[in-house]
Chains A and B, each alone.
Chain A
């Protein structure tokens, strides 16, 4: 049923007396959102005198910071201050890190940068334009270091250390053993192994980060408004970093959010950074992250390598599992990381009954943006391995993948099921849920479609995925990264406290506030449904207050909007608070109506005796009594005005000494299947039919659940087919715009068939479980399995872009013909395939002797004339120069201060030309080997170059970097030829004859 159909169905079917909970009520918040009345963080008023911040970011993936010169920037009119790592050292401390490894992460780079986009300095000015003008005038001296761009590289002891004190780029390793996997492997009929990699990506909310920070020197306290989403376990991390107690960091969040999907957790380093800025400048500070900053440097899902091996019986039953997970957390372990690796620790065996398990978890640091919360947190990574493995087992054993899933699902009778690693799957009937999806989703028809397509020679495949969707994280799971000994020293951590406050006003209105911030889940709608039902009121009687203030609202470290905890924990806590308040109101009413409190009922705005509905009070009258006439209350009774409840799920304990951890309070079940067709020519994947079956416990509002499922599905289609934060091997970041980081639009996302079952959770007050993240866990691998089935291949890699898929279909390229006729603008000679590094080679023939060419290259005046855009060149040492160059392509120009050197001189045969420089557009470095060969016509100049371009221009112009580099290098050699007395034509350009023929209208 589509959303519109659901609403239509609801409005025609629902009876006025039915409870509101469970009904598909359209979102109450949408009127404000859709009419532009909603006020987001950036819309809120700022204090007089507020300064606007712009952040200077590292163009290098890894470099030492040798010095920062901000004098010119401070001279820009309207600039109040430039804040650097020195200020951070003065007013802040490094952030706490979740593992025992000596790594320092500051809110501004101190001494070293470790990823492209890392904040290096902040300009504070009267407006953002002026601040950005001044950014371009800050000069930073860097010494580039080798970047670490993969977990394999991080594991190599020879890799450059990101955090030298840690001694390795693998900063934590833990091994876990549950049951006796070795025995199972020794006796199993089959062993099936698989290695998979999950790419870095993110859910990219529409609204980027916003921070408004102020510092009160009288109290030594910070007040910050930001769109931080929680978990508020990070609040003490921020307070510690600002060197204040928690009470002196008052953190507020606005009533509306432009989306988060977990990402807004990662605003926290900027809360500290802007706090420091406010303190340094003595004025309030506002910072709004722009899209380039967000894509480049905000946050990312972790990349993960999984090495899996299963011991499998002949019938496909998995007897034991070995997994090694290596997590790419980026340059720093930012709280709550490495949580993405441990969030699923209790459900590592997924929806399957696999009794024996061994796990090795390794955490790698790399020269990439630090990872953080992102919808599906760790689940997409885990299930990409696990469900690809189930598919591989089927393939290896010659079984139907669906039968392998069926054979291994946790049986209904085993619920609640204890997983080997300590999880407690709370409810559900996985096998019959799967069969219902197969039936209602039309798997038989889909198989027929596949048969027909294949008979016609088309590439069509079917994929499956069965996953459990954890929700309401145990705050203790992250301590599983520590040893039992380390945990004993630190004290137990567990639980998932949610807080809610419900109050009645003198007119009988009810207000609700919760320790969560909205991100699109429909807080107003669901909480109004829950509370209205408790008091027998109408939706419009309930006011849900969605802004949040750590100084005034009830909260704990588990507060916030993450781990799909809203429906289960937050709405549950609100229900607990409302029920307690209602029971107190009932005791007051009991006295007035002369019946026992247990007989008091609340419905239709009335409070009445169950046995005699005429014996009634209006709800508003009862509510008003507490405000207006506390003297009339029965003896010993306090007015029932307000109730705050803290609720924590009972089953959430700290990890045991044997490392068993129930990492989440509830576990939903999802079974997906899909049919995809792959275009044989282009490799494009088309999702033909997608079925997603969810059991998320009790649905509080099916319409909102549908929205969550469709949203998660859309983002998962992005993960499967389009999205990746791409980096070059040299560390440059390549996905800086939405033309480079490709989020699917409505055009690319098909409407899935969404099916539901409801197995209420015994753990949560309302029986609800999380539902919003599941498709981010199930859908990428379901699509991948379908593509693998369509192509009949073993290995598929996300995102399944046409270029990757086509390579799987087409195999080796037809060879280059013997006679070629390179066209203008094509890479000259052989294009050197350098992956994502820039490189190339070429040659030119010059009508001059090698000695003459050599003399030109070694003459500084001549060299100045050859270098594109060279405005000044001065000698810096033997054969080395400092040059001012303005280079670029078309209208794009950057002024670079470049260092140019000639080395490995072998006159007049060969030399190496190196250059490096930086500008506000980014950095460039290149090395060219130039050889001169005497020929009959003069000299053949051959060159082979490699280049590295970093910073902004690489992040937004990756598409044209190669051809731009080629153009500039071509200009150099064209000039060399001209200086050596040759014509300005080069090999690969149209010949004179070609041009002549073209003039005559004859094409060649």
Chain B
């Protein structure tokens, strides 16, 4: 379990990283925390010629609130975000979800943007980004562009990011006054990939449920206020629409069961914690 040979670049600036990426094309990969990429390198599932390490770039360490968004730069680790004292007030859904991201050891190195760029269908951070309708800030040597979360995740490990772009930052909208947020997840063990993860947002207009781990990317659905059997029916329809696949840990039917049951408790929790 040793990686294939590659060059390693620790650039001095984002510009240098982007120039190297533009030159390297499909054969270059970005690494920041490396918590997904390093095992894939060691198993030779990924064999880049060039690895560009963003983790040392001060320019990418942005972690600030501006114009109603919390912006998280590419070099910010999940632990650093979790340690932000105001996070539970600013983006309560993230504060609820981050403890479910891997283990504290992996969060110490894993980055927020790295998880978004990796686009694992079970991952919590992409789910929160989709649920909150956050945005992905992409940058290449040529230009910058912003892609809404709904258009960013295209499939398993597949995103709208072009080969010469980096995820420079992601941004999450700040909590809306009066809204309630909740996150729940079922995994085999705590810290494992979610079998099903649910994020719910409730406010005066209605409820939104976002589900990870069932379809091949996070999926979001909105309803007017529903309860009782109406909510059951709506969740059942959503579960069937998500489909899901069998794997060695869980059947598609079980994933749908969790959408119905955990989806419901997550919504109820979000409704209950509206301020």
Contacts and interface: CB of A to CB of B under 8 A. Distances in A.
Contacts of A962: 245-247
A689 interface: no
B244 A831 contact: yes
A950 B221 CA distance: 36
Interface in B215-246: 215-217, 219-222, 232-233, 236-237, 240-246
B186 A892 contact: no
B38 interface: no
Interface stretch (A15-23, A129-137, A515-523): A129-137
B219 A825 contact: yes
B66 to A, nearest CB: 21
Contact of B43 (A823, A956, A963): A956
B131 to A, nearest CB: 11
A473 B195 CA distance: 43
Interface in B68-82: none
A760 B35 CA distance: 52
Size category, A interface: 35 or more
Given A681-B261, A817-B237, A826-B215, A803 B251 contact: yes
B77 to A, nearest CB: 20
B217 A825 contact: yes
A889 B233 contact: no
B258 interface: yes
Given A133-B4, A817-B237, A959-B122, A893 B192 contact: no
Chain A at the B interface: SS class: loop
Given A889-B158, A891-B29, A827 B245 contact: yes
B246 A889 contact: no
Nearest to A998: B150
Contacts of A735: 248
A735 B39 CA distance: 15
Interface string A286-302: 00001110000000000
Contacts of B44: 132, 136, 920-921, 952
B258 A133 contact: no
Interface in B29-60: 29, 37, 39-40, 43-48
Nearest to A288: B1
B89 interface: no
Contacts of A824: 215, 217, 219
Contacts of B216: 825-826, 960, 963, 966-967
Contacts of B48: 891
Interface stretch (A329-337, A399-407, A527-535, A739-747): A739-747
Contacts of B119: 890
A681 B5 CA distance: 48
Contacts of B262: 681-682
- Max count, chain A CB within 10 A of own CB: residue among B37, B47, B119, B244: B47
Interface string A564-601: 00000000000000000000000000000000000000
A920 B193 CA distance: 26
Given A891-B46, A960-B121, A967-B155, A801 B247 contact: no
Contacts, number: 190
Contacts of A967: 155-156, 158, 216
B254 A806 contact: yes
Contact of B121 (A290, A834, A963): A963
B142 interface: no
A806 B249 CA distance: 13
Interface string A811-827: 00110110111111111
B273 to A, nearest CB: 19
B253 interface: yes
Given A803-B251, A823-B241, A963-B121, A952 B43 contact: yes
B189 interface: yes
Contact of B188 (A132, A802, A921): A802
A960 B156 contact: yes
Contacts of A814: 232, 236, 260
Contact of A890 (B157, B232, B252): B157
Interface string A757-779: 00000000000000000000000
Contacts of A810: 257
Given A734-B248, A959-B247, A967-B216, A820 B241 contact: yes
B5 A806 contact: no
Interface in A446-466: none
Nearest to A292: B1
Interface in A292-336: 292
Given A735-B248, A889-B156, A958-B247, A823 B1 contact: no
Given A802-B188, A813-B256, A133 B245 contact: no
Interface string A715-740: 00000001010100000001101011
B265 interface: yes
A292 B44 CA distance: 12
A920 B5 CA distance: 15
Contacts of B236: 814, 816-817
Contact of A823 (B195, B219, B233, B245): B219
B10 interface: no
A961 interface: yes
B176 interface: no
A833 interface: yes
Nearest to A971: B155
> Which interface class (under 10, 10 to 19, 20 to 34, 35 or more) fits B?
35 or more
A834 B247 CA distance: 10
B45 A892 contact: yes
B245 A958 contact: no
A504 B136 CA distance: 73
Nearest to A895: B47
Contact of B243 (A683, A831, A1003): A831
Interface string A258-297: 0000000000000000000000000000000011100000
Nearest to B219: A823
A292 B43 CA distance: 9
Contact of B253 (A133, A291, A807): A807
A684 interface: yes
A683 B249 CA distance: 13
Contact of B155 (A744, A748, A825, A1003): A825
Given A744-B189, A817-B240, A891-B40, A960 B246 contact: no
B269 to A, nearest CB: 13
User: Which of B43, B232, B248 lies at the interface centre, i.e. has the most chain A CB atoms within 10 A of its CB?
Assistant: B248
A240 interface: no
Counting chain B CB atoms within 10 Å of each CB, the highest count among A292, A892, A998 belongs to: A892
Interface in A833-853: 833-836
Contact of B193 (A292, A739, A921): A739
Contact of A822 (B121, B186, B243): B243
Given A739-B192, A802-B188, A817-B233, A1003 B1 contact: no
Interface in A926-984: 952-953, 956-964, 966-967
A890 B116 CA distance: 13
A538 interface: no
B84 interface: no
Contacts of A642: none
Contacts of A920: 44
B143 interface: no
Contacts of B241: 820-823, 826
Contacts of B39: 737
Given A132-B44, A739-B192, 19 more contacts: A132-B1, A744-B189, A748-B190, A802-B188, A803-B250, A813-B256, A821-B237, A824-B215, A826-B216, A826-B243, A831-B244, A833-B252, A835-B246, A889-B155, A890-B156, A892-B46, A958-B248, A963-B215, A967-B155
8 contacts: A129-B3, A682-B262, A820-B237, A826-B244, A833-B246, A836-B247, A890-B118, A891-B45
Interface of A: 128-129, 132-133, 136, 290-292, 681-684, 722, 724, 726, 734-735, 737, 739-740, 742, 744-745, 747-748, 801-803, 806-807, 810, 813-814, 816-817, 819-827, 831, 833-836, 889-893, 920-921, 952-953, 956-964, 966-967, 998, 1003
